[in-house]
Amino acid sequence: MTSLFTRWIPALSLGAWSAILLTAHLSGRASKFLHPAFRPGVLAAGMILGFLSLLIASRETPPECCADASCTHPLSRSRLGRWMMFGILVVPASFAAWLSPDTFSKQAFEQRGITMDATGLGDRRTAPPQQAPLPSDLAAATTATPALETAAPAPETPQTAAPAEKTNAPDAVPDYLQRTKEGHIVTEVLDLLYSVQDSQLRKDFEGKTIQLIAQIMPDKTSENETTRFKAVRMFMSCCAADARPVATLVEAKTLPDFAEMTWVKVIGTATFPVEKGKRTAVIQAISVEETKPPEEAMLF
C-alpha cells in the first residue's frame, strides 16, 4: 500500500497534468485561451511533468517512506487523506480540461461587459508608434528640396495643389496597413477604438473603405437599435482570465439576419462622429456577410 501512495499515485497525478497540458497544446485549445507568448510554456511544462511522472514510476519506493507513524504530512497519515489529495490535484483539472467549452459564450461576453472605449486598454500594440503617418503638410516638407524648405510660403497653384490632393485621396494608405485584394484596409476593432483617442491614427481610417471580421451582437444602448449592431472581439493581455470583449458600432440600412455571436465580415466606411458629446467609431456598412472565424479568435 505504501508503494501505491508514494510511487504510483504521484506518478499518475503528474502524468494526468502532463496529458492535459500536452493535449491542450497539440489540439490548439491552448491557443484559444492563452497569449502567444505563453503557449510554448504549455508544451514545455507538459513535457517536464511527463518526464517526472515516468521518473517517479520507474523508481522503487523504500518501505519506510511516508509510513503512517513517521509521515509529517497531515493528510498523508490516512488512506482517505491520500485519496483526497489525489482527487484535489487531478479531478477538477481533468473535468475543466475535457468539459469546458472551446469558445466564450454570449453570457460570458455580457457578464464581462463589452468595452467600447480604449482608455483602459493600455498602449496600442497593433501598429508601431514610430510608423505613425505624418500629417500631409509635414510629409510634404520632409520630401521637399532644401531650396523649397527655406523658401517663403507662396500662394498655392494648381501644380502645388496636385500632390496634396493625391496625399489626401482615399487610396493614400500608409505602408504598414494591410489591404485585401479588393483594396479594402484590413482593420481590427482595436484599431478603431484607438483611433477614437488618437487624431493622428484616425486619419489612417476615416473616410476609407475597411474590412472588419468580428462577432455580431445587438446594440441595446444606442438610439438607432434598428440599424446598428456591435461588432465584438475578445481582447486578451495574458490569458482567458483577463480577457474582455471590445466592440465597435456598425450601421447598416437594415440589421443583418444572423444569430447573435455569428462571425461576420463587415465591409464599410470608417467614420468617427461625435454623439452625445463623445467621439465614437461607427462603420457605415456596405455589406455584412457570414464568414469563418479568424485563425486567432482573440485580439492581443
Q: pLDDT, tens digit, for every residue of 91-101?
A: 777 777 777 77
* pLDDT at position 282 over 60: yes
Residues paired with residue 249 on neighbouring β-strands, in sequence order: 230, 282
* Residue 156 belongs to some domain of the structure: no
295 and 184 in a common domain = yes
| pLDDT confidence of residue 209 | 96
119 and 188 in a common domain = yes
Axis-axis angle for helices 9-26, 39-57 (nearest 10) = 150
Triad 290, 294, 297: Cα angle to 5°: 115
Q: How confident is the model at residue 195 (pLDDT cuts 50, 70, 90)?
A: very high
The answer to whether 240 touches 33, Cβ cutoff 8 Å, is yes
| pLDDT confidence of residue 15 | 86
Q: How confident is the model at residue 281 (pLDDT cuts 50, 70, 90)?
A: very high
* Residue 42 belongs to some domain of the structure: yes
What count of residues does the chain have? 300
Q: Which residues contact 212 (CB under 8 A, 6 or more apart)?
A: 187, 188, 189, 192, 231, 248, 250, 265, 266, 267, 268, 283
* Residue 161 belongs to some domain of the structure: no
* pLDDT at position 25 over 90: no
* Residue 150 belongs to some domain of the structure: no
The H or E element that residue 165 is part of is: helix 158-168
Q: Is beta strand 209-218 parallel, antiparallel or unpaired with respect to 263-271?
A: antiparallel
294 and 189 in a common domain = yes
Residue 149: how many other CB atoms lie within 10 Å = 9
| pLDDT confidence of residue 124 | 57
For residues 242-270, give the mean pLDDT. 92
236 and 124 in a common domain = yes
For residues 155-178, give the mean pLDDT. 49
63 and 192 in a common domain = no
| pLDDT confidence of residue 279 | 93
193 and 289 in a common domain = yes
Helix or strand or coil: residue 55?
A: helix
| pLDDT confidence of residue 287 | 94
* pLDDT at position 151 over 60: no
179 and 252 in a common domain = yes
Domain, as residue range, for 75: 2-100
* Residue 134 belongs to some domain of the structure: no
Q: How confident is the model at residue 246 (pLDDT cuts 50, 70, 90)?
A: very high
Helix or strand or coil: residue 25?
A: helix
121 and 249 in a common domain = yes
- How many distinct structural domains can be found in the chain? 2
60 and 180 in a common domain = no
For residues 134-146, give the mean pLDDT. 39
* pLDDT at position 129 over 80: no
276 and 174 in a common domain = yes
249 and 117 in a common domain = yes
Half-sphere exposure of 20 (CA within 13 A, CB side): 19
* pLDDT at position 264 over 90: yes
* Residue 72 belongs to some domain of the structure: yes
- Here the CATH number for the domain that contains residue 285 is 2.40.50.140
User: Which stretch of 129-133, 175-179, 242-246 has the lowest confidence by average pLDDT?
Assistant: 129-133
For residues 259-272, give the mean pLDDT. 95
- List of E strands, 148-218: 185-187, 209-218
* Residue 250 belongs to some domain of the structure: yes
Q: How confident is the model at residue 37 (pLDDT cuts 50, 70, 90)?
A: confident
Cα–Cα nearest to 230, from 202, 258, 206: 258
Nine cell digits for residue 271: 467614420
Q: Write the CA distances from 141 to 163, 167, 176, integer angstroms.
A: 12, 13, 21
* pLDDT at position 105 over 50: yes
Helix or strand or coil: residue 192?
A: helix
54 and 174 in a common domain = no
* Residue 208 belongs to some domain of the structure: yes
